[in-house]
Copies of this chain bind each other. A is one copy, B any other.
Amino acid sequence: MLNVISSETLLSHTQNFSCIGHEDLPLNQCTNRILAKDIVATENIPTFKRSTMDGYAVQAVSTYGASESNPALLFIKETIDMGTPPRLPVEIQEASKIATGGMLPDGSDSVVMIEYTDPVDPQTIEVYKSVAPLQNVIDVGEDISIDSIQRKKGDVLRPQDLGAAAALGIQKLCVYEKPIVGIISTGDEIVPISQAPDIGQIRDINQYSLSSQIIQNGGCPVFIDNVPDDFDALFAACKKGIQSCHMLLISGGSSVGMRDYTIDVIQKLEGAEIIAHGVSIQPGKPTILARLNNIPVWGLPGHVASAMIVFHVLVRPFVRHLSGELSPPFYSNQTVSARLIRNVSSGQGREEYVRVRLEQSEGTINAIPIQGKSGLIRTMVQADGLLTIPENSEGLEQGVLVDVILL
């Protein structure tokens, strides 16, 4: 018999595993990777006052009161070359020509846009509008101030984070390694997709759908083997898997049926501790989680839709945890609110995941439950998402708004 625990209890065990190693990667390989060390600013950005406009660097006081009818007359000191420091300071009633991105000369504190000036002669301009100190200027440290923490350990790296690292001259970031997740497909009737199945045989689907789920969640899938329903063969594949992987998924044979060897094999692996054999979710009840040192070893149902749903609901948070993600941002649930188009009943005492298709109709999004057994890949291909019926509920009524987890 299964010894069933709730999904919540199972998920609390993520905390008993520690994240794996880290590596230093060049910025152009860091997109979507997870930071293993804070990004701390070692300097001010910019290191000098920069102009944000084409115009003239001035002391703001030189422009006070300037208007169309009463322009300020300023003496042109120099034209500032880009990328080099200005040669001359700007005193009162002086101006130096500057382009966007240029460095302000000593004495100046603001930039008058070129649109508000007119040349009088080669040495003189008229200014028609006053500026305030720091107007049209990025001040020293205004973008990034020295010692500030830009991003924290555990954050997923976005384009702008890599931009901030580049601004600081950081060429490599320390990110967590991708967890290597081994997959073993079990079943006497399962053949590799490269082989034509005989009558009574079917192709190995789970290897491909699980690999792709692993990739989408930042892991690195490795296929270990296709094994028949045989204790010794599965034991050998598991030994191989735990030597090279940070996590192991065994698809098929996780229940207590005639050909289910997964639990026996895991129990024989030295140091393995069974955390769950049975989780109160539907589909996916016959799921096994064991811990072998820091390796989560999973027995997943062989039914293709069940295996995918168990991955999404239970395995995924472990992959993310091993990858070093602390917790995803609260707004990134990837759920969509939709109206349920018919009643869905559910057995009490188990959390139920219903595959749904989403459809847009007159400004609302409808969630349409998909019929079909959990052994059908079609039900997942047709599904846009999953809705959850909680453990203590008997079902959901037509018309209610539900949060659909996008697949």
Q: Which residues of A contact B (CB under 8 A)?
A: 27-28, 30-32, 45-48, 50, 52, 54, 81-86, 99-103, 114, 138, 142-144, 150-151, 157-171, 187-191, 193-194, 196-213, 215-216, 221, 229, 255, 257-259, 302-304, 308, 329-332, 336, 338, 358, 360, 365, 373, 375-378, 380-381, 383-385, 404, 406-407
Contacts and interface: CB of A to CB of B under 8 A. Distances in A.
Contact of A165 (B208, B216, B331): B208
A85 to B, nearest CB: 5
B48 A162 contact: no
Contacts of A168: 203
Contact of A159 (B100, B210, B338): B210
B384 A331 contact: yes
A312 to B, nearest CB: 9
A31 B206 CA distance: 14
Contacts of A329: 358, 384
Contact of A167 (B81, B114, B158, B377): B377
Given A82-B259, A216-B32, A193 B171 contact: yes
Contact of A200 (B103, B114, B255, B331): B103
B331 A163 contact: no
Nearest to A259: B99
B211 A380 contact: no
B259 A200 contact: no
B100 A221 contact: no
Contacts of A331: 336, 338, 358, 360, 365, 384-385, 404, 406
A200 B84 contact: yes
B381 A161 contact: yes
A303 B54 CA distance: 13
A193 B101 CA distance: 17
A301 to B, nearest CB: 10
Given A52-B303, A84-B198, A150-B381, A31 B216 contact: yes
Candidate in A169, A190, A196 with the most chain B CB atoms within 10 angstroms: A169
A159 B82 contact: no
A100 B47 contact: no
Contacts of A52: 303, 373, 375
A303 B136 CA distance: 13
A31 B191 CA distance: 22
A376 B138 contact: yes
Contacts of A158: 212, 407
Contact of A171 (B170, B187, B194): B194
A385 to B, nearest CB: 8
B205 A167 contact: yes
A190 to B, nearest CB: 8
B308 A163 contact: yes
B216 A99 contact: no
Which A-B residue pairs are the 5 nearest by beta carbons? A163-B209, A82-B188, A159-B212, A160-B380, A83-B189
Nearest to A374: B52
29 contacts: A31-B212, A81-B188, A82-B188, A83-B188, A83-B190, A84-B199, A84-B200, A99-B259, A100-B255, A100-B257, A100-B259, A101-B202, A101-B302, A114-B257, A114-B258, A150-B381, A157-B212, A158-B212, A160-B381, A160-B383, A163-B206, A166-B209, A167-B202, A167-B203, A170-B193, A171-B193, A330-B358, A331-B358, A331-B406
Contacts of A188: 81-83
Contacts of A336: 331
- Interface centre among A167, A215, A255, A360, by most chain B C-beta atoms within 10 angstroms, is A167
B304 A163 contact: yes
